[in-house]
Every structure is written in structure tokens, then in C-alpha cells.
Structure 1
């Protein structure tokens, strides 16, 4: 999953997310359970949500490896906003569609979780 370091951290309005039929945003209980969870994507990248709002995205070796560090917060619309240590940030929305978990970016890009 590529990270886009050119977006200022913000909160998109709930109706601005490009949801598809069957998309159900994470419930509050799922958002509250993020600390300690990680999500691996099909490109081999992995998002890790730590306690106290710590965040790390580790790139696959095919995408150069390395880790982008930051902190995350849950916005009022249920999106997860990350502020990276390099000064940039982004907000994403996790949804369930059937048995699949999908991360949706503010641009509408969809990244299914393995």
C-alpha cells in the first residue's frame, strides 16, 4: 500500500468517502480495539497500530523496505488520521464488505487487507 506523503492531515466529511454497496465502516468497538493490531496488505506492506496512538507502516522489500513512523487518531467520522514524523499526514477509512476488510484513502483508492 503506497503512502502519500503530500497530503496534510485532516478529517474528511463522512459523506465524502467513496463507499461502494456493501461497505460498512468500522464500528466504534472495532476502532477502540485498534491498539495492538496490524493489517497486512496484498503488496506486502503492513500498518501497525500501537498503544498511545503510535503508528508504523512497514513497506515490503519489493517497495524498498523501511518503516514510516507516526501517530494516529480516530476522527469524528470514524476515519483514522495519521500524522507522520516527517510532517505529512493522511486519513483513511477502514470498511468491511462481506468477509473482506478494505482501507479506503481520501482519494477513493481501495486497499484490501489480506
Structure 2
């Protein structure tokens, strides 16, 4: 019975792999920097907000309203993988370039994060 249960545990855990193509000057965040996301909210230039809670909960609030909920984990490659409650899964890689924090999605699109206002 246990042999059957263990593989079933992994069915609910999304597995992703992305080939992150970095541009010159882009440096992935360290694990310590990623761990520091815990309890933070990052705001993007479209007013969308990513919230990384201490218990692994995640929410994304759209600039136009509405929120998507899920859970996140930091993958071995340094990406942050999110499993949304509505069934969508994705991984993103955060990098720094010229002092700016940038999210790169699996499609290679880049979304700069607004500088923290200190609040």
C-alpha cells in the first residue's frame, strides 16, 4: 500500500524545468535573497502584486483587481514555482541587472519589479 501511496503524493506536486536564457549582466538571485521574499509583496509596473507568505502561500493581485491564490516553492535551480488553486502552474526566475529586480517567466518575458518604497 505504501509503495502505491508514495508515487501518488508526487502527482499533486508540479514538476517544471525551464531553460533560463539570461541576457548579459543578468544575475540570478541567491537562495538567501529568494528566502528573503518570505512575507514580502513585490509590485510590478502594471500595479500587479505578488505576495509570498511565510507558510508557502502565494497570491497575485492584478492591477485591475482580482486575486489568484496558490502555493510557491523555491526550486533547486533558483526559480520560484507556483501552483495556483485554479490549476495553472508556472515557474519564474528573478534576476538583478543594473540594480533592478526583474522576473523572467518560462516564455522568456521580462517583468521589472518596482523599487521597494521602504513601507
TM-score range for the pair, normalised by the shorter chain length: 0.7 to 0.9
Gaps of 5+ in 1: 1-8
Aligned to 1:108: 108
Aligned to 1:88: 88
Q: Report Cα offsets for 1:21-52 as digits up to 9, x if no partner.
A: 01110101111112111111111101010011
Instruction: Indicate whether 1:32 and 2:55 are aligned.
Output: no
Structure 1: which 4+ aligned runs deviate by more than 6 Å? none
Gaps of 5+ in 2: 1-13, 115-119
Offset at residue 10 of structure 1 (A)? 3.4
TM-score normalised to structure 2 length? 0.81
Greater relative contact order (Cα < 8 A, sep 6+): 1
Offset at residue 101 of structure 1 (A)? 0.3
Aligned to 1:58: 61
TM-score normalised to structure 1 length? 0.84
